[in-house]
Structure 1
């Protein structure tokens, strides 16, 4: 059984490599990483004591362009987890045609226990530690789990001060008033909603009253819920890290957000049945969106899934064994590198706008995003039908081939 996120990512890559097939030279290059940096981050806490945190920046491959990937703050962060996420970013950028390579970074910490001042000092010291390997043409970080536009603003400011001039393109996902893009905050969630709308056409399902379950109603999941509500779908179950709720008649996005802001969880939400994150995955629905953490759908619960379609909002929520079981049960899975690529697409838009110092309207951003995701979905679906492949295998095949072609044409230095 494969349970580690890195083992899952590697197994998926190895399977596709054999199928293409890749030359052994390129296979070995892509199995490894360009760079993995571990840094110590000493900061002065509010109580006057010094505490040392550990941070990372993992860069997988830059054959197609600068490294791109989020920064997450989490107490259970591991290097293996970041390796998996960095590799997946390489495939994601390649699949949607964005000229970036894959990276990921983060700090082992629980940001919920830190004051705003401690969080700012931690972010600035981390930025200083990884400065030698990031840059607008080298590696461009973005928000991820437990980081946001404020964290990106601190990174941008720290980098700019040390660089000697204003450098907005060093990060994406920053506030609009310092070079951020309109539409970036909700881009991942909107992209997932676009993908669901596209996918249900092929399943001959109607968006109106489509029953959707969203595991992880955070920044991404709640945006998915908002846009699906607007499309006429019925979100029947949602969850946070503390548990979930279910109402087969549907849940109001506005009421959910208001209740969560006031209570910090969905516990005792009116007119809804409480449940665990695990049991929520096994409820009957048309579309299941795992938008929390990796390895949520596993060999143990794959046979209990009662969704007609799974659309991966999180990175790596389905293990290799679960994929195989779902395929046998004819439950299609729209993979993460396609479904949640909206964030990196609009991050690319932001990077382009910063470079030009010319900014687009939110309507332009959303239209360009939809066009890219629709075209990518059609390409993946077409290969899937033609070669009788799962959507994940088809998406990975397209993505890996493009990266391999870039490595091949660039050659080996020296």
Structure 2
């Protein structure tokens, strides 16, 4: 069985002794003794969900040729709950043996990077990349580089660590635009989700001249055929990524939340929740291409139905992998606190990866997912061979 499709190496179920809420850690694979993957928090989070996300992380690290395996953490708790921070702290404490030596985690749905870093610092682990940083010859220097990179300011008043994932999704979209020969200013986009990933993607696509005509958050869909003023709308978001409707211009239409999925656009970017597009939603999809910015936003059966309709799906483990790839480039010293350098490297990587996936679809009828999985497995086989021969894959300066 292919490494990226095998059963996870380990599953851990944790129950919070204070609230009774459950948390999960799934380690799908280890490379160089390490696995990487964020920690999410949402009401209804399940072990099977976390296991599927861990598999996705193994695919991401393989596609981007990172010397690390895949893992994921999840907590069944509403991040708006007053108990949420305490639950997160106790979860991190319980997972400390893995976080200390093997699991590199980071932000995810419901858990911003600054919050998880605060919890790590309180527990004496300094930062959520701790398991990798401690392997560096000079951990303090590596820690400084990581902190400087995450906190580097970028245009728009945000931090590099908060926007790099959305920037990567935007570059995936631009890879599609270039491969299809579309004029950017004539290309229309709908984005489901206005948080870190969706908001970042919408912002950078707007900056690139594309028309973001639909943008949805938990309260509904904002729509304007000439394109939304994305930067201004994003400035009104609260800490949960919801746009202040009192500050929405009157010419912008307020539509139901689900309307974004049926928008008649060139590109649809589901960037909110997993399984947003299932079989029942497929007949409503009008986009020419779907780019998965959330983790598994399109179910397997829906992707098959979309393929039958001639709509390719750029898989999440390519499109939204910019954040994890950049984090490891930062750890490995390929990038630093210079946003220009980070954006350049990520743009080059994404623009190189998307055209071959669409070419496989256009010429051989192979889905972008199938083409990307072949690439992932090839690189996993190479890494296994290197480790078996005693070659070190991980070198953190």
**Given the alignment of the two structures, is residue 52 of structure 1 paired with residue 20 of structure 2, yes or no?**
yes
- Conservation of the 8 A alpha-carbon contact between 2:149 and 2:336: no
Equivalent residue, structure 2, for 1:133:
98
Residues 218, 403 of structure 1: CA spacing in aligned structure 2 closer, same or farther, 3 A cutoff? same
**Given the alignment of the two structures, is residue 283 of structure 1 paired with residue 263 of structure 2, yes or no?**
yes
Task: Trace 1:252-267 onto structure 2 (pairs within 5 A).
Answer: 252-261=229-238, 264-265=242-243, 267=245
- Conservation of the 8 A alpha-carbon contact between 2:360 and 2:367: no
TM-score, normalised via structure 1 length: 0.80
Equivalent residue, structure 2, for 1:31:
6
**Given the alignment of the two structures, is residue 210 of structure 1 paired with residue 210 of structure 2, yes or no?**
no
Residues 185, 175 of structure 1: CA spacing in aligned structure 2 closer, same or farther, 3 A cutoff? farther
Equivalent residue, structure 2, for 1:149:
113
1:244 is displaced (CA, Å) by 1.3
Equivalent residue, structure 2, for 1:396:
373
What is the total number of aligned residue pairs between the two structures?
Answer: 368
- Conservation of the 8 A alpha-carbon contact between 1:153 and 1:175: no
Q: Distance in 1 between matches of 2:172 and 2:373?
A: 17
Which ranges in structure 1 are unaligned for 5 or more consecutive residues? 1-23, 43-49
Q: Aligned-residue CA RMSD in angstroms?
A: 2.9
TM-score, normalised via structure 2 length: 0.84
Which ranges in structure 2 are unaligned for 5 or more consecutive residues? 133-142, 153-159, 389-397
Residues 204, 374 of structure 1: CA spacing in aligned structure 2 closer, same or farther, 3 A cutoff? closer
Residues 127, 158 of structure 1: CA spacing in aligned structure 2 closer, same or farther, 3 A cutoff? farther
Q: Which of 114, 121, 130 lines up with 1:170 in the alignment?
A: 130
Residues 378, 241 of structure 1: CA spacing in aligned structure 2 closer, same or farther, 3 A cutoff? same
Task: Trace 1:313-324 onto structure 2 (pairs within 5 A).
Answer: 313-324=293-304
Residue by residue, what CA displacement relative to the aligned partner does 1:2-59 show, whole Å, maximum 9, x if unpaired?
A: xxxxxxxxxxxxxxxxxxxxxx4x56x94211111122233xxxxxxx5333211111
- Conservation of the 8 A alpha-carbon contact between 2:104 and 2:128: no
Residue by residue, what CA displacement relative to the aligned partner does 1:339-387 show, whole Å, maximum 9, x if unpaired?
A: 111111111123234xx9x944111111121222223334544555564
- Conservation of the 8 A alpha-carbon contact between 1:63 and 1:403: no
Equivalent residue, structure 1, for 2:291:
311
- Conservation of the 8 A alpha-carbon contact between 2:179 and 2:358: no
3-state SS of the aligned residue for 1:228? helix
Equivalent residue, structure 1, for 2:70:
102
Q: Which of 311, 333, 349 lines up with 1:331 in the alignment?
A: 311
Residues 41, 158 of structure 1: CA spacing in aligned structure 2 closer, same or farther, 3 A cutoff? farther
Residue by residue, what CA displacement relative to the aligned partner does 1:171-199 show, whole Å, maximum 9, x if unpaired?
A: 79x99894553422111110111111111
Residues 363, 208 of structure 1: CA spacing in aligned structure 2 closer, same or farther, 3 A cutoff? same
Task: Trace 1:176-191 onto structure 2 (pairs within 5 A).
Answer: 178=147, 180-181=149-150, 182=152, 183-191=160-168
